[in-house]
Chain A
Amino acid sequence: MTGFLGQLAQVGGVAAAAWIAGWFASRAGFPPDREFRIERIGWSWALGAGIVASMVPIAFLARVRPSWPVFLVLAAASAAGAWILRVRSAAWGRPSEGLVVSRASAYGAERPLTAVLGGLVLLGVVLYLLRTLTEPMWSNDYVAIWGLKGKTIHASEGIPSRLFGDPSLGFSHPEYPLGLPFLYSGVSFLTGRFDDHAMALLFPLFQVATLVTLFGWLRRHGATRLVAGIATAILACFEPLYSAFTTGLAEVPLSLGLLLFGTALADALEGDPGALRRAALGSTLIAATKNEGLFFAAAGCAIALLFGGERRFKAAAAALPTALLVYGLHVILRGRLPLRDFDFGSASAARVAEALGAAVRLPGVIVWMQLALLAVLIVLGRRAPEGSWLLVLCGAGLAAYILLPAFAVRGPEWLVATSLPRTAAGLAPLAAAAVAIRWRRVIAA
């Protein structure tokens, strides 16, 4: 076995252990019912990756080196805690007509088409796997930000204060959350080596977890295999998100986190069992991954309060506090740091117009056609409360990504060109869920 394949197998082993640990931990957010099982698999990866990442600061706090024993203790503690706090099988009364229709039709005319869609999902995963494993992670933001911090934490066996205070490291954005660097260093502590090629394997796993969650959530909410399959196949093959360039960056993990958070928030507003806990966990994950995670958590909280009906306060209370806790822990660790790329005193109507103009000019013909088709699917679909909440969350994120460049220190045009394509692509899983859920009843009939 070559060095690369050996390291790949080791990272795969760590990932498998994390996924299993996440499965046991997910008992705190999911009832044991069969309907939840598919999306629980997706959640398990996110929670498992969270356990690996959180192992690093927890071990440092306990003044021990992050290692397999520490991971196993944490995994066992999470599993035990999850068992104590387990969500019991509630009277699960959702009228899942799509599920019933789909189960009946899976052996009929729908079957060949769902098999083709399954093949396309597999194709999307294989293509992304090929892109991620071609070479060591290489994007500028990986080298300058996420990888640099992960490598530094691993090699230092600590969190050097210079990561936050050294002016020569300003380019590495000391104000960004440390979730992804902790994940890189955590995996490296467990494999015994910081291998930035083998660790690229984490990214197809984030993709698979996203696809599984999307499919499972749509199915549980009554979408047919066909509707859920089309949405999952389109997302699996969506190259702007699952590209060689985004490998190593926070967009792919964040896109999973946003899907988890958004769907859990929608579930919480509907009163699904365990959904409040899932929303709180999703909020934690997104706030630990990127700065805008806190924004999305706040947006989710606002959506719950504004549109949430009778469960608004509980859902809102689940959406934001854990994200604030993550932010607070970062402030304790590194102090309050300004957003390096932004000057909020620089806004003007002209800059907003410049940002909007740049955003409109950015997509090519193909992307505009894709957006137009998405609009057709939204307009023709049937209103579904979960879909509406997710669309508002998605729209809030897109608006922020388009307008924030108006405050960019290096100018709106620069930030739109360098970040909008990938940040907007990170909304794709959320958008897929929001649009597809509007078609569950039309296609089921």
Chain B
Amino acid sequence: MSRLTRAAAAAVAAGLLLVLVLAAQPWGELPRRARKIAAYAPQELPVRRLGGSGTAFDRRYFSFLENARRRLPASAEGVALYGTPSGDPYVYLAHYVFAPRPVLFAPPAPPPGWVAAIYGDGRPPDAKVLHAWAEGAIAVPREAAATP
């Protein structure tokens, strides 16, 4: 094959590859992305996450986690979660939101110094609710609340 033929073949192959790479771009999503940036940029960071892909599996759950995080006492050494759905995304998001605090899912009782975050309406009878809001509540065991 002559050098010229080889170069022409390369030009065609490279050109086609470039076209295929360009064609595979998700062009349709661009307007939505531009609108989303414009709409969410002025919002605070958790609101931007709330409207994003990482919480699309259950936005109410993220709202619960974020509200719980904001209401945690500064002394809370960890968070015991109750009433949360099972599944990897639920686990990952909870650990991420509460980091660096450790998180446990439905332990028999929160370890000493920990706070319980309860998703939904259920309230353990032996707990003192510190804060309650639409998606859940945070609470501590009564004996812990009574300890000075």
Contacts and interface: CB of A to CB of B under 8 A. Distances in A.
A and B from one assembly?
Answer: yes
Interface of A: 2-5, 120, 127, 130-131, 133-140, 143-144, 147-148, 151-153, 155-156, 160, 162, 166, 168-169, 171-172, 195-197, 230, 233-234, 237-240, 244, 366, 369-370, 373-374, 376-377, 380-381, 439, 442-443, 445
Interface string B17-52: 110111111100010011011001111110011011
Contact of B13 (A133, A139, A155, A377): A377
B6 A238 contact: no
A230 B22 CA distance: 13
B96 A3 contact: no
B3 A380 contact: no
Given A140-B88, A143-B54, A380-B10, A370 B45 contact: no
B115 interface: no
A148 B100 CA distance: 8
Given A147-B96, A374-B17, 17 more contacts: A4-B45, A5-B41, A127-B25, A135-B51, A138-B53, A140-B92, A144-B92, A148-B99, A172-B95, A230-B14, A237-B18, A239-B25, A373-B13, A373-B16, A442-B3, A443-B7, A445-B3
Nearest to A2: B42
B34 A377 contact: no
B102 interface: yes
A151 B95 CA distance: 10
A370 B17 contact: yes
A152 to B, nearest CB: 4
B10 A155 contact: no
Contacts of A147: 96
B21 A136 contact: no
Contacts of B127: none
B130 interface: no
B33 A130 contact: yes
Interface of B: 1, 3, 6-7, 9-10, 13-14, 16-18, 20-26, 30, 33-34, 36-37, 40-45, 48-49, 51-55, 88-89, 91-93, 95-96, 99-100, 102-105
A130 B18 contact: no
B20 A369 contact: yes
A135 B49 contact: yes
Given A136-B45, A138-B53, A151 B96 contact: yes
B10 A366 contact: no
A108 B12 CA distance: 21
Given A135-B51, A166-B102, A239 B45 contact: no
A138 B92 CA distance: 11
Where chain B touches its partner, the secondary structure class is helix
Nearest to B41: A4
B20 A370 contact: yes
A230 B17 CA distance: 10
B21 A239 contact: yes
A137 B55 CA distance: 11
A445 B91 CA distance: 59
Contact of A151 (B25, B99, B105): B99
A148 B95 contact: yes
B6 A143 contact: no
A366 B13 contact: no
A238 B10 contact: no
Contacts of A374: 17
A136 B18 contact: no
A138 B97 CA distance: 12
A440 to B, nearest CB: 11
Given A380-B6, A443-B7, A239 B24 contact: yes
B48 A136 contact: yes
A376 B14 CA distance: 9
Contacts of A4: 40-43, 45, 48
Contact of A377 (B17, B23, B36, B104): B17
A162 B48 CA distance: 29
Contacts of B24: 239-240, 366
B134 to A, nearest CB: 23
B100 A234 contact: no
Contacts of B96: 143-144, 147-148, 151
B104 A168 contact: yes
B37 A133 contact: yes
A162 B21 CA distance: 43
A281 B105 CA distance: 42
A416 to B, nearest CB: 19
A120 B100 contact: no
A234 B14 contact: yes
A162 B111 CA distance: 16
A134 B103 CA distance: 29
